[in-house]
Amino acid sequence: MTDKKFVVTPWEVTGRVDYDRLVREFGTQHISPELATRLEEILGPASYLVRRRIFFSHRDLDLALRDYEKGRGFFLYTGRGPSGPMHIGHISQFYFTKLLQDKFKTNVYIQITDDEKFLEVKRNLSYMDTQHWAEENMLDILATGFDPDRTFIIQDTEFVGHSYPLILKIAKRINYNLTKAVFGFTGETNVGMLFYPSIQILPSLLEKRRCLIPAAIDQDPYWRIQRDIAEGLGYFKAAAIHSKFLPPLTGTQDKMSSSKPETAIYLNDDDKTVRRKINKRAFSGGQATVEEHRRLGGNPDTDVPFQWLYMFFEPDDQKLHKIREDYRSGRLLTGELKEILTEKVIGFLHEHRKRRDEAVNKVRLFKHDGALSQKMWKTDFEKL
C-alpha cells in the first residue's frame, strides 16, 4: 500500500509505518491476547517476539493452531530474496521460524528467490550476482539451526523446472488485472515479474495441509492471491504470521536497506564495525548533554538501541524493563545503553558465525539429500 506518509510493498518500505492501518488496509488481523497466549504456551520463554508483538498480525493463525491440536498439523514456509549480504533485520524471521519448527515439529520450506532478484530491474544484479548471494545467504539461514530432515531449500532457478507443472496450474489462475491491482504492475513491468507471483506461491502448495508463513508484512500481497486460488486447486488457503520491520540504526523510519550499509549491521560486520556503527550512527532518544539527560531522562520509544533490544536482542522481559526505566529516568546514559546493545550484538554475531561455518558442509542436505529434500525431488509434479 502507498500513501504520502509511508509505503509498504514487497519492493519498497519507506516512511513511518502505521501498522494498525496496514492491518486494516491489507485485511489481516491483529494477534489477539488469547491467540498470543495459545502460541506462547507452545513456544515457551523464547516466544518474546510474539509477546512483544514483533509478530503482530496474522491470517488464519487460529486455524493452523487448531490443525496442530487436532493432529493434522501444518507446515511452515518462508523465504529470502538473495540481493546482497544479510543484515540483522533479515535474520530474526529465520530464528523465529526455526523456533516454530522445533516446537511444532513441522516441515519447513525455504524459498531462495534468485529469479526474483535478477528480474527486479532496479537492483541491477547480474544472474551470477544472484547465484553468489544465494550461496552466501543460505549459509546465514542454515546457521539458525533448521532440521536437515524436515527442511527443504527451494532455490528457484534449480527447482522451478522440476515443479513446473504445478507452477503452470497456479499461473493459469492469476490474471493480469489481479497482479496489477495487487502489485501495481504496469506496461513497463517485465514479463518475468508478471509471472513471478506464481513461483512465490508454489511452496505454499507443497503439502495438502495448511501452510503457515512467517514473514514481514510486506510479503502479504502474495498470500492474498494465494488465498484466492488455493482452494480451487484442491489445496489449503495459506495462513500467515506477520512481523514488523526492525528499524534502521539511523531512526525509527523506513526499514534497513542494503543500499545504505551504514543504516544496518551485517551478519559479517566485525566487532570494530559494529561498535563504530552503533556509536556513530544509532539514533538516540537521549538528551544532548549528560546533565540534561540526568535531569530529563531519555525516550526509549524513539531510541534505536532500545528498540533493537526490545525487538530482538534482549529476550528477558525483566532486564528489558529495568533498562527502559533506567533510561527513562536518566540513570542510564545514552553511551551506556549503546554499550549494552553493542555487547549483545557482538556476542550474537560471534555465535551466529560459528554456526554459519558449521553449515557449510550441510547445504546439500537441505537442497538434495535430507529426508524432505529427497521426497521433493522424487515428487512427480505432473501427476499432482
Interface with ligand TRP by CB under 6 A: which residues?
A: 10, 77-81, 111, 113, 116, 200, 213, 215, 219
Closest approach of Cβ 61 to ligand TRP, in Å? 15
- When CB distances to ligand TRP are compared, the closest residue is 79
Number of H helices and number of E strands within the chain? 19, 9
* Cβ distance to ligand TRP smaller for residue 84 or 285: 84
CA 65 to each of CA 50, 57, 216: distance values in angstroms, whole numbers, following the listed order: 14, 15, 20
Amino acid at the residue 326: D
* Cβ distance to ligand TRP smaller for residue 258 or 299: 258
Distance CA(39)–CA(105), nearest Å, equals 14
Closest approach of Cβ 60 to ligand TRP, in Å? 15
Closest approach of Cβ 232 to ligand TRP, in Å? 21
Closest approach of Cβ 121 to ligand TRP, in Å? 14
* Cβ distance to ligand TRP smaller for residue 141 or 345: 141
* Cβ distance to ligand TRP smaller for residue 50 or 213: 213
CA atoms lying within 13 Å on the CB side of residue 320:
18
Distance CA(316)–CA(91), nearest Å, equals 19
- Can you point out the beta strands (E) in the chain? 6-9, 12-15, 29-30, 55-59, 75-80, 108-112, 151-155, 211-216, 239-243
Closest approach of Cβ 119 to ligand TRP, in Å? 11
Q: Please check whether residue 231 is in contact with residue 237, taking contact to mean a CB–CB distance below 8 angstroms.
A: yes
* Cβ distance to ligand TRP smaller for residue 115 or 303: 115
Residue 381: φ, ψ to 5°: -70, -15
